[in-house]
Homo-oligomer: A and B are copies of this chain.
Amino acid sequence: MITAQSLTSFVNPFVGTKTMGHTFPGAAAPFGMVQLSPNTKQEPYALNGSYNPLTYRYTAGYQYEDTTIYGFAHTHFSGVGHSDLGDFLIMPTTGPLQLEPGEADKPRSGFLSSFDKETEKASPGYYSVALKDYNIKAELTASERVGFHKYTFPKTKEAHVILDLMHNIYNYDGKNVWTFVRVEDSQTVVGYRQTTGWARTKKVYFAMKFSQPFTSYGRKRYEPVAYNGFYRKFNENENFPEFAGRELRAYFNFDTTSNQELKIKFALSNTSTAGALKNLESEIPGWDFEQQTEKTRALWEKELSRIKVTSLTPHDKVTFYTAMYHTMLSPIVYEDVDGTYLGLDQNLHKSEGFTNYSIFSLWDTYRALHPLYNLIQPARNNDMMHSMMAHHDQSVHKALPIWSHYANENWCMIGYHAVSTLADALQKGTTTLDPERVLKAAVHSSNLLYYDGIESYLHYGYVPEDLSSASVSKTLEYAYDDWAIAQIAKLAGDSAKEKEYSNRAESYVNVYNPETGFMHPRLSNGNFKSEFDPMDTHGQGFIEGNAFNYGLYVPQNIPHMISMMGGKTEFVKHLDAIFTTEIDDKYIEKNEDITRDGIIGNYVHGNEPGHHIPYLYNWTDQPYKTQQRVRMILRTMYNDEPDGLCGNDDAGQMSAWYIFSALGFYPVLPGSDEYSLGSPLVRSALMDLENGNFLRITTENQSEKNIYVKEVILNGKKLTTPVLRHSELIIGGTLHFKMDSKPNAQFMGNS
């Protein structure tokens, strides 16, 4: 049960559902494959042949302001900047059967329904809403692999459940590949759906059980059918128990009495309908909706309690636990209850010795999400590392994942950051993987010549902009990733590879232009690009950033970067300029990802390449500015309302930044043992380190104004640099922050 003390009571699933957070309010278990949530609009991906920018608002299927629901789909991304999924939309209706979805804000124009915002409730593992057009109360919960629907109907002879097998998030012609359905008996339906898109070859199986028999059912096939079998002799549209096609919707009819509860269990599998049925029976054998809701809530309570905080304000506590919640909606468990899963090679595999996960948004999550798991979820992170290695083993490229979901590599964004997460796990001792095996996979992944400028990166020592766009971003990230591989090599005892990759890690120097003082796109002839605007995020060698901010991405050698850029004093000026520049609108309009709300000067918190920037003051003589900036960002870029995220949550990375920073430190260099100190926002925290140890974070004089750190004491020992070591933290004990309203010169740069 939720009580006032329950941590789940401090989660607001609506945070990030307004503007560009791209989160969803629906029901899911922690890291669950089923994420059952209302879809409120279906913007076509293309309009008149071009990309429809409105699509972008619906990467999670939902916008807070909408007041129409198309139905409840079983798969979603949380906080992602592109999309796919939205599989298996279920909608209960009454009255004349309507199989077309209808138009948003036009009641009764289809099977959609309007709803009043005040009827909408969401908490971890539970969502409910009153579907106004049908007088149906909809309630949802979920286990890891099973969505559980409860619909309270009015009395009617015309009750329907629509199963829309054509519905997609990011919908376009050709997205639906094939759909296959069997009505096994009057309460059981199984099948699968194949789509193409971001995941080019995606297949999801389902098994669906109704709590009572339907009285009749049917389907409609929408695509033009050139050929429909030879001498088929049935009405296959009504009460015919198998159907298949590219574009299908099905419906099931019921007689209901007043306030009759119709429940649906809807299991997913990536292997087979038999797997889906097994998942269903294993996870939710009975029909007690409230019991399942409580069971899932208890799972969330357990996950959230890995960090127990007291906060400055009640709002902060909601922001904190909602961030915790958002770090546990992806990656997702991607296997059947018996460990069978679909591999990247499209063959079935068994996850021997680990649990297989999918949805790795690695360009985002290597920064703080996986480091957070290494601290409070090391066992699960180990499963994820094994999942990445399995991906590598099954890859025809023998490459680690770049951005992967649903047994597909979608190649999104840049770098080969799986190596960072693996280096971090190896460095922190949280993985059972053999370093030599990891090294081999990492080396191969970093030498994939046809991948995104790698061949020229190896040839020139940088990616030439004339050969591959976003060349500076790529050079910087490859160099960092190569540093991570050097760490893996070191742990594997391979000093030759360590040296080779330490050398590659210095490639960033090749894109630094001393004349402009910026990381500067360079051409294959060795010259730097002549037309250069360090503020522009387009066509200037960067992606989701510009030279001014993204150009500071050398986490592996910040002291050298600073000296290269003119020394600490100059560097502080650069940092200050980032946070204080009044950026021209022209630079913002181009970027669909960023709103004015997500930026501070030229610092863009809504995208990831700058997430380490506020901490860079720690390497100068003015670490207090890190404290100031971090506290400012915590205060202005996050809140506990639907607009509480200033950009895409990016599969939990934005939330992980918040959690670390609110606790007072941040992993500027994943793959190292170090965290960089900031300014805690919590009053206190108790972290369960999963190894039997607990780390208590305490503060003194903590307040809204006392944002500066005067002194930090770890287990009785005063820190002399703004650095914490993972190896020290996991012993547990107490990390004590003395706060002050004035900057303290005590914190020296950690160069």
Where the two chains meet, the residues of A that have a C-beta atom closer than 8 Å to any C-beta of B are 45-46, 82, 170, 172-175, 177-178, 180, 182-184, 192, 194, 196-198, 200-201, 223-227, 229-235, 239-242, 244-246, 272-274, 345-348, 396-397, 410-413, 450-453, 468
Contact = CB atoms under 8 A, between A and B. Distances in A.
A274 B347 contact: yes
Contact of A230 (B82, B183, B192, B452): B82
Contacts of A347: 272-274
B184 A396 contact: yes
A412 B180 contact: no
A749 B627 CA distance: 109
Contacts of A244: 196, 200-201
Contacts of A173: 226
A384 to B, nearest CB: 23
A96 to B, nearest CB: 25
Interface residues of chain A: helix, strand, loop or mixed (majority)? loop
A180 B201 contact: yes
A450 B232 CA distance: 11
A229 B198 contact: yes
Contact of A241 (B172, B183, B242, B397): B397
B346 A233 contact: no
Contacts of A453: 233
A46 B177 contact: no
A178 B192 contact: no
Given A201-B244, A411-B229, A223 B174 contact: yes
A192 B346 contact: yes
Given A227-B197, A229-B200, A233-B411, A345 B182 contact: yes
A468 B11 CA distance: 62
A172 B226 contact: yes
Contact of A198 (B196, B230, B452): B230
A411 B231 contact: yes
A2 B718 CA distance: 92
A170 B178 CA distance: 20
A232 B194 CA distance: 21
A231 B180 contact: no
A229 B178 contact: no
Given A244-B196, A396-B242, A178 B175 contact: no
A566 to B, nearest CB: 34
A339 to B, nearest CB: 16
A376 B468 CA distance: 68
A450 B240 contact: yes
A184 B234 CA distance: 44
Given A201-B244, A242-B396, A244-B200, A174 B231 contact: no
A658 B274 CA distance: 44
30 contacts: A46-B226, A46-B227, A82-B230, A172-B227, A173-B226, A174-B223, A174-B225, A174-B226, A174-B246, A175-B227, A177-B178, A177-B246, A178-B194, A192-B346, A197-B229, A198-B229, A200-B244, A229-B411, A231-B413, A232-B411, A233-B411, A233-B468, A234-B411, A240-B450, A241-B396, A241-B397, A242-B397, A272-B347, A273-B346, A273-B347
Given A239-B450, A241-B396, A411-B229, A178 B198 contact: no
Contacts of A273: 345-347
B174 A177 contact: no
A174 B223 CA distance: 9
A528 to B, nearest CB: 23
Nearest to A395: B242
B182 A396 contact: yes
B234 A450 contact: yes
